[in-house]
Amino acid sequence: MTEQPIPASPVEADIETFGALVDTEPQAPPRSQWKDVWDQFRKHKGAVFGGGFLIFITLAVVLGPYIWTLEPTKLDIRNKDWRPIWTLIWDGDAKAGLAHPFGTDQLGRDILSQMIAGGRVSMAVGWIAMLLALVIGTAIGVAAGYFKKLDFWLMRFTDLVLSLPILPLVLLAVTLFRQPLNSFFGSPEAGMFVLIVGVIGLTSWMQTARIVRGDILALKEREFILAARSIGTKPGKIIRRHLLPNVISPIMVSATLGLATAIITESALSFLGVGFPSDFPTWGKLLADAVPRMQEFPERVLLPGIAISLTVLGVNYLGDGLRDALDPRIRGR
Amino acid sequence: MLTFTIRRLILSIPTLLFISLVIFGLLQLAPGDPMAQVPLTVPPEVKEKMREALGLGQAWYIQYWKWLVQFFWIEPQVLIDHWFGTSFAEGKQRVLSWQTRSPVMDIVVQRIPQTLWVVGLAYVVGIAIAIPIGIYSAYRHYSVFDQAGTFVTMIGFSIPPFFTGPLLIVIFSVYLGWLPSIYDTLHVVNDWQSFKVQVMQMIMPVMVLALQTTAQISRYMRGAMLDNLNQDYVRTARAKGLKEATVVMVHVVRNSMIPVVTVIALGMPAIFGGAIITENVFKVNGIGQLLLTWLFANDIPGVMTLTFIFAILIVFFNLIADILYGLLDPRIRYD
């Protein structure tokens, strides 16, 4: 093996000799798996709209405060109870104008900037709680699927947690632990954020764990895992290199479901009055605050309600499309 | 089947014990002091006595054990006394609410029928709507009905009950004035007229709760039907000349129901969670609303018992689903 010249391309030489082996059709360029996934995903109109809307709303709440610079908590009692700008279409005398396109509330706070600020909180809670639930669920699912000794106990534990009354417990935890966390983190907002994210994350990992465990159990018996084990790969490495990339699609699908649930749970807590402090807008809180006067100002209920519903709808459609796109049995049909 | 049911019943005891321990632990770890509201003029030794009167002076495991005894041993005796006029529970300590100083279970028994009626009816209505929709949209896959059904269920899935509730109140109670916005619990049904009033006031809370169930279950039903419709046994059934209605309604639907039953059972915690919100929106004085009241009043025995009752309801419905699962699917043998 010292200085042997390697032929430039042995395959080409062979093809020249055996002319019959040449393909009559030109070969299609190789396609990566993710390109296939993307092509299938694009066919699902709802998923494209859902994904697009999710990106739009995320950008709107992230960049919104830089474009619409009005403070969400600034009181302006002289300009209270403005109607949204579109009421001018049928009612020329309505208190409305370009200064507050979505109107103002009973204390004169601008509703558009409140919506942006509220969306920031709701989306941040949703994303972080979803990631937390995914990490816990995947870890438990992989451990239960891969290590036989852990399987029984981890799955019994998952079943137990599944039969817990989730919303009552979440209500309990949020009400009871509000005070100490507030003093621990210095500000009530930070304490509440950590508490709500933690509580939602800790109570919504079970479905992910179950799905991941099922997939790992099936994958574990396949030949490539046997091959990996036979060359002495350590369990940790097998999980990271061989198993996790193969369960990425169920994880992504349950991620979208988790995001939707987390946003709804956070809004429900705010609605029931156990969420963030009262001057801190979130979509659920805006909705709850507007309910007593919804006869006169229906838009104040509708705007946050529609924002929550459309975001969750978009996320659900995205999940639907991802499920189709990531399933190799459906893809290409 | 009977052995399985008994075994499942016995297995649910450790589950319930675990759940009660979790709830109790959560309440113990919580730092809130129930004596915090007592005025500062009350001397410390009196405060200490009040604490002991509430049963707070003991170690946590003694408190837990006492609660277990009260809930599982004394409360059933009270029930038996109530039914048969005996006096087993005479003079025994029951679980007392701190807020009202009366037995927790007495209040719960007053409140629970409202919740069960609304939740139960919502679930039944939801399932009754969802299953035909799921069957038909799978049977006419990619038809207009299927597309529309998918869209409507997606929307139903996405709109939270705390938005649909106020929305329906504004539309049907305020603008149209057809339905009452508040659930009147004192309403007694004794003739046709009062029955109509009862139906009117139940429509909105039930429909708000049923919307979510319908959306979820019809999606699962459709998926399960689609999986089954392409199976070989369906072709066999058609080939031997069965009517199309028999093929779909008997063969395919029965097989598709198997995964759907699990989904129905697993949806139970969510529907009781939804009940807390719906009861709050429509002012139904069920146990969900009671839980919120006691939670804000820091009534620890009440909250503990009530959360545990939610857990019992969930475990009980899971048990029913497991038994139904065995009845529907003869391949599953439990022995």
B96: phi then psi, degrees, rounded to nearest 5: -105, 140
Does the CB of A59 have a partner CB in chain B at under 8 Å? no
Q: pTM for the complete prediction? A: 0.80
The distance of A191 to chain B (nearest Cα, Å) reads 15
pLDDT, tens digit, for every residue of A14-29? 555 666 666 677 777 7
Helices A111-146 & A283-290, crossing angle to 10 degrees?
130
Q: What is the mean pLDDT of residues A128-146?
A: 90
Structure-model confidence comparison of residues B316 and A10, the more confident one: B316
- CB-CB under 8 Å, A175 with B273: no
Range of the domain at A240: 52-69+107-326
Q: What is the mean pLDDT of residues A163-175?
A: 81
Structure confidence at residue A115 as a pLDDT band (50, 70, 90): confident
> Among A143-157, A163-177, A184-198, B87-101, whose mean pLDDT is lowest?
B87-101
**Domain presence at residue A93:** no
pLDDT at residue A16, rounded to an integer? 58
Q: Dihedral sign, CA of B105, B109, B112, B116?
A: positive
Structure confidence at residue A1 as a pLDDT band (50, 70, 90): very low
Residue B294: its H or E element:
helix B287-296
- CB-CB under 8 Å, B158 with A165: no
Q: What is the mean pLDDT of residues B90-96?
A: 72
Question: Which residues have C-beta within 8 Å of that of residue A276, sequence separation ≥ 6?
Answer: A121, A188, A189, A192, A193, A196, A270, A282, A285
User: Which residues in chain A have their CB less than 8 angstroms from residue B154's CB?
Assistant: 46, 313, 316-317, 320
Q: Distance between CA B222 and CA B220 in Å, rounded?
A: 5
pLDDT exceeds 80 at position B309: yes
Q: Where are the beta strands (DSSP E) in A219-298?
A: none
pLDDT, tens digit, for every residue of A217-256? 888 888 888 898 899 888 888 888 888 888 887 888 888 8
The amino acid occupying position A177 is F
Contact (CB, 8 A) for A305 and B167: yes
**Domain presence at residue A124:** yes
pLDDT, tens digit, for every residue of B292-305? 888 887 778 888 88
**Domain presence at residue A290:** yes
Q: Distance between CA B273 and CA B100 in Å, rounded?
A: 25
CB-nearest to A313 from B155, B167, B174 is B155
User: Which residues in chain B have their CB less than 8 angstroms from residue A295's CB?
Assistant: 170, 174
**Domain presence at residue A12:** no
User: Which residues in chain B have their CB less than 8 angstroms from residue A271's CB?
Assistant: 162, 277
Domain total of chain A: 1
Q: What is the mean pLDDT of chain B?
A: 80
DSSP state of B234: H
Q: What is the mean pLDDT of residues A55-68?
A: 83
**Domain presence at residue A235:** yes
Does the CB of A330 have a partner CB in chain B at under 8 Å? no
Q: Distance between CA B17 and CA B65 in Å, rounded?
A: 11
**Domain presence at residue A33:** no
User: Which residues in chain B have their CB less than 8 angstroms from residue A195's CB?
Assistant: none
Q: What is the mean pLDDT of chain A?
A: 79
pLDDT, tens digit, for every residue of B19-59? 888 888 888 776 666 666 677 777 778 877 777 777 676 77
Structure-model confidence comparison of residues B129 and A280, the more confident one: B129
Q: What is the mean pLDDT of residues A188-208?
A: 84
**Residue B145 burial (CB < 10 Å; 0-12/13-18/19+)?**
middle
pLDDT at residue B334, rounded to an integer? 56
The distance of B162 to chain A (nearest Cα, Å) reads 7
Helices B268-282 & B161-168, crossing angle to 10 degrees?
30
Q: What is the mean pLDDT of residues B96-107?
A: 77
User: Could you give the C-alpha distances from A230 to A234, A236, A243, A316, in angstroms and in order?
Assistant: 10, 15, 16, 42
Q: Distance between CA A138 and CA A206 in Å, rounded?
A: 9
Question: Which residues have C-beta within 8 Å of that of residue B229, sequence separation ≥ 6?
Answer: B138, B139, B252
**Domain presence at residue A18:** no
pLDDT at residue A8, rounded to an integer? 53
Question: Which residues have C-beta within 8 Å of that of residue B219, sequence separation ≥ 6?
Answer: B134, B150, B153, B157
pLDDT exceeds 80 at position B333: no
Q: Distance between CA B174 and CA B192 in Å, rounded?
A: 26
pLDDT, tens digit, for every residue of B150-190? 888 888 878 888 888 888 888 887 788 787 777 777 777 77
Contact (CB, 8 A) for B290 and B306: yes
Angle, alpha carbons A266-A271-A273 (nearest 5°)? 100
**Residue B59 burial (CB < 10 Å; 0-12/13-18/19+)?**
exposed
User: Which residues in chain A have their CB less than 8 angstroms from residue B280's CB?
Assistant: 272
**Domain presence at residue A80:** no
Q: What is the mean pLDDT of residues A43-55?
A: 83
pLDDT exceeds 60 at position A9: no
Find the residue in A nearest to B309 (Cα): A165
Q: What is the mean pLDDT of residues A128-142?
A: 91
Find the residue in A nearest to B306 (Cα): A168
CB-nearest to A177 from B30, B166, B266 is B30
CB-nearest to B166 from A167, A179, A294 is A294
Structure confidence at residue A135 as a pLDDT band (50, 70, 90): very high
pLDDT at residue A247, rounded to an integer? 84
Provide the 3-class DSSP secondary structure of residue B296. helix
Find the residue in A nearest to B159 (Cα): A309
User: Could you give the C-alpha distances from B83 to B71, B79, B80, B334, in angstroms and in order?
Assistant: 18, 6, 5, 36
Question: Which residues have C-beta within 8 Å of that of residue A92, sequence separation ≥ 6?
Answer: none
pLDDT exceeds 90 at position B124: no
pLDDT at residue A128, rounded to an integer? 92
Q: Distance between CA A260 and CA A265 in Å, rounded?
A: 9
pLDDT exceeds 70 at position A331: no
Instruction: Report residue B33 CA to chain centroid gap.
Output: 30
A204: phi then psi, degrees, rounded to nearest 5: -130, 25
Q: How far apart are the first and last CA of chain B?
A: 8
The CATH number that applies at residue A188 is 1.10.3720.10
A215-219, A283-287, B236-240, range with greatest mean pLDDT: B236-240
Q: Distance between CA B23 and CA B27 in Å, rounded?
A: 6
Structure confidence at residue A329 as a pLDDT band (50, 70, 90): low
Q: How many CB atoms lie within 10 A of CB A5?
A: 5
